[in-house]
């Protein structure tokens, strides 16, 4: 999964993002496993973690740090970054279900002027960013497990986009570059 730590600098009408390092959420040594293992019994059934707490778990210090999820992946003809705002967790046995809240930072087709958006890029500063929620699951919990990405507990496995009535609809389908259909 493409979770990355970026330094975010506001320049008036745009935000500049510069990548610092990847963020490891899965695995027995991943941040979610470390967080759950450090909790007292009875606290793992429902918990929240903001981005500052997540970055602190990774021992990264500094101001204006954000966690972005690179949706597009390598070889894509569009660029799509979601800013993680909060992680909600629920753990039972060897399963940890996660609900992640995001703001959509950038979603557009790439052009020749963009060198490598995964390293650094600029995006319009949004007064009211479009919000998104995603459900993920890890095969680890207070009862053990390998902490790998697994099947979500949701049957439909859907992404939930919260409507933003003050801005026009996004002209592109997330990271495909295709025009959105009504």
- The answer to whether 66 touches 13, Cβ cutoff 8 Å, is no
Count the neighbouring beta carbons within 10 Å of the beta carbon of residue 6.
24
Task: Please check whether residue 171 lies inside any domain of the structure.
Answer: no
Q: Which residues partner with 138 through β-bridges? A: 96, 149
pLDDT, tens only, 124-143 = 998 899 999 999 999 999 99
pLDDT computed for residue 115 by the predictor:
66
Task: Please check whether residue 181 lies inside any domain of the structure.
Answer: no
Task: Please check whether residue 180 lies inside any domain of the structure.
Answer: no
pTM: 0.78
Nearest to 102 by CA among 86, 122, 117, 126: 86
Calculate ∠ Cα 3-117-151, nearest 5°: 30
pLDDT, tens only, 54-103 = 999 999 887 899 999 988 766 667 788 999 999 999 998 999 999 999 99
Task: Please check whether residue 169 lies inside any domain of the structure.
Answer: no
- The answer to whether 101 touches 85, Cβ cutoff 8 Å, is yes
Q: Is the dihedral of CA 172, 176, 178, 182 positive or negative?
A: negative
Nearest to 105 by CA among 6, 32, 39, 180: 6
Residue range(s) defining the domain that contains residue 60: 3-162
Out of 48-62, 82-96, 109-123, 164-178, which region has the weakest mean confidence (pLDDT)?
Answer: 164-178
Residues 6+ apart with CB under 8 A from 43: none
Q: Per the structure, how many domains does the chain have?
A: 1
Task: Please check whether residue 170 lies inside any domain of the structure.
Answer: no
Task: Please check whether residue 155 lies inside any domain of the structure.
Answer: yes
For residues 113 and 50, what is the distance between their CA atoms, to the nearest angstrom? 34
pLDDT, tens only, 37-48 = 999 988 989 999
Residues 6+ apart with CB under 8 A from 122: 11, 14, 15, 16, 17
Alpha helices in the chain (DSSP H): 31-38, 51-57
Q: Which residues partner with 7 through β-bridges? A: 18, 65
Please give the radius of gyration of the chain, using alpha carbons only, rounded to the nearest integer.
17
Task: Please check whether residue 63 lies inside any domain of the structure.
Answer: yes
């Amino acid at each position: 999964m493409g979770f990355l730590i970026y330094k975010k600098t506001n320049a008036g009408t745009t935000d500049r993002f510069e990548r610092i390092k990847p963020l490891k959420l899965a695995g027995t040594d991943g941040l979610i496993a470390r967080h759950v293992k450090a909790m007292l019994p009875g606290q793992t059934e429902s918990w929240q973690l903001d981005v500052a707490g997540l970055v602190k778990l990774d021992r990264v210090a500094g101001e204006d740090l954000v966690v972005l999820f690179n949706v597009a992946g390598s070889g894509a003809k569009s660029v799509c970054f979601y800013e993680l705002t909060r992680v909600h967790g629920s753990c039972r046995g060897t399963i940890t279900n996660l609900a992640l809240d995001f703001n959509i930072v950038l979603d557009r087709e790439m052009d020749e002027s963009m060198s490598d958006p995964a390293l650094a890029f600029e995006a319009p500063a949004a007064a009211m960013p479009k919000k998104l929620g995603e459900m993920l699951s890890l095969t680890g919990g207070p009862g053990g497990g390998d902490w790998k990405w697994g099947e979500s507990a949701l049957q439909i496995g859907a992404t939930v986009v919260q409507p933003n009535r003050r801005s026009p609809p996004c002209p592109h389908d997330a990271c495909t570059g295709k025009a959105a259909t009504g």
